Amino acid sequence: MVDLQKIEWCSRKPEQFHNITEEVHRLVENSPVKNGLVLVVTAHTTTGIMVNEGLPCVETDIADTLARVVPLEADYAHAHFLPSYGATGNNSTGHIKSLLCGNHCVFPVVEGKIVCGGAQDIYIVEFDGPQLRKVYVEIFGE
Amino acid sequence: MMIIDMHMHPIYYKSICPDEEELLFRQNAFGTFKQAPYDYDETFIELDYAKVDKAALLPLDLTTTEGGWVVNNDQIAKVVSEHPDRFIGFASVDPRREDALEVLDYAFGTLGLSGLKLNPAKQHFYPGEEFMEPIYKKCIEYNKPIIFHAGLSWEPNCITEYAHPLKFEPVAVRHPELRMCLAHFAWPFVREMVMLMIKYPNVYTDTSVLYMDSPEESIKRLFTIDMGPLWTDRALHSQIMFGSNGPRFRQFKLLRALEKIEMRDYAREGIYYKNALRFLGKEEA
């Protein structure tokens, strides 16, 4: 059995950590699927799905490290007008940080609950906001 | 400091996207793709993050050339009536339509819109042509400014020659009382744009220039290479307005780049809001 759900969130800044742990756990607990896996995957190429400890200081360290690795100003090839959009991209940092962060996470589901460590919070991370974002939560099993 | 964005296209505002057919017309005529209609909430989040207080919304009447509008005057008036604290509504008219002056009387007199948007490259006319004179006189009669698209236009079926800055000089000569903005710094014809601003104090431009490079690179080039680094402080501080050209370019990225340009406080205040208020005919500016 497959149960596909969706979380929508509108970011308010160009880069923002948004903790969706409770929403994902609630979707799993309300799902008809009781044993299997849950997949959490972003619908975008300039966001990430991150599993980490839900502390502001950890978020700060991750954001600062990503900013050092992927600086705002560099000679990105993507910094030009895109005919296929009729708009300017200029969001290379978002694409690269999304790659580094990854686009999904997976957890086991046993007897209607996610099996995870106590520090494993789930985030959608915005790298090109503000804008409306979608995260798909697919619970599959039996 | 207040910030006014004088150049936005509300083609994806959900409250004025009545159906798929109209949205498709707008996308094809305007040349933006891979975007979907959004609520005001999303618009205001972006405005608030950029610290933009008000935004001028621009429609375009393509009745005789393409058989429709990229947002019409009534739709602009609807958005403004729903959020008068955040939006400034402009009108448009296809200058070749027989009822062009009636359209303007309705837009200015009944709808109360704040100015006129024309795109010579897309609407296929030279600004200095004689048949345009009644349009200009109507704007003067109502004391309404005109924002002309100028320079490169990405929209399909645009002829750049119609929007070359030199084509606007006859209008500036004939109508010194008509406030006119040649948008986008008439990019890439920046020097010609500067020439017009030196000669004609009623000629304005806006900062929506991001066809190449990153926002920082593009704005730095505009303000320090295409123009001398002191030209804004010394001569042009009262004629440049902030404009983003959203949704093609994002406001906060252009503002982030502008913040990195050195200029005197009076020049920055002018660009961010004072010139817009004067352009719009507000006495306090």
Would B76 be classed as within a structural domain? Answer: yes
Query: Cα separation of B93 and A59, whole Å?
Result: 51
Would B147 be classed as within a structural domain? Answer: yes
Closest Cβ opposite residue B32 in set A76, A87, A131: A87
Closest Cβ opposite residue B213 in set A13, A72, A80: A80
* Confidence at residue A83, expressed as pLDDT on a 0 to 100 scale: 86
Would B110 be classed as within a structural domain? Answer: yes
Would B135 be classed as within a structural domain? Answer: yes
Would B169 be classed as within a structural domain? Answer: yes
- pTM for the complete prediction? 0.95
Which of the residues A45, A70, A88 would you substitute to probe the B interface, choosing the one with the greatest number of B C-beta atoms within 10 Å?
A88
Angle between helices B40-50 and B251-259 (to 10 degrees): 0
Helix, strand or coil, per DSSP, at residue A133: strand
> Within an 8 Å CB–CB cutoff, is residue A56 touching chain B?
no
- DSSP code per residue over B156-185: TT--GGGG-GGGGHHHHHH-TTS-EEEGGG
CATH code at B57?
3.20.20.140
Per DSSP, which regions of B19-93 are E strands? Answer: 54-57, 60-62, 68-70, 87-89, 91-92
Would B134 be classed as within a structural domain? Answer: yes
Task: Quote the number of domains for chain B.
Answer: 1
Angle between helices A56-69 and A92-101 (to 10 degrees): 120
Residues of chain A positioned with their CB less than 8 A from the CB of B51:
none
Measured on CA atoms in the order B207, B212, B169, B156, is the torsion positive or negative? negative
Residue range(s) defining the domain that contains residue B93: 4-279
Residues of chain A positioned with their CB less than 8 A from the CB of B38:
132
* A63-112 pLDDT tens trace: 999 999 999 999 999 998 888 888 888 899 999 999 999 999 999 999 99
Which residue of chain B has the CA closest to A87?
B248
* B1-55 pLDDT tens trace: 999 999 999 999 999 998 999 999 999 999 998 889 999 999 999 999 999 999 9
Would B285 be classed as within a structural domain? Answer: no
DSSP tag of B64: H
Would B284 be classed as within a structural domain? Answer: no
**Burial of A32 from C-beta contacts in 10 A (0-12 / 13-18 / 19+):** exposed
* B102-159 pLDDT tens trace: 999 999 999 999 999 999 999 999 999 999 999 999 999 999 999 999 999 889 999 9
Query: Cα separation of B181 and B243, whole Å?
Result: 11
Residues of chain A positioned with their CB less than 8 A from the CB of B31:
86
Helix, strand or coil, per DSSP, at residue A104: strand
Which of the residues B12, B45, B244 would you substitute to probe the A interface, choosing the one with the greatest number of A C-beta atoms within 10 Å?
B45
Query: Cα separation of B176 and A23, whole Å?
Result: 61
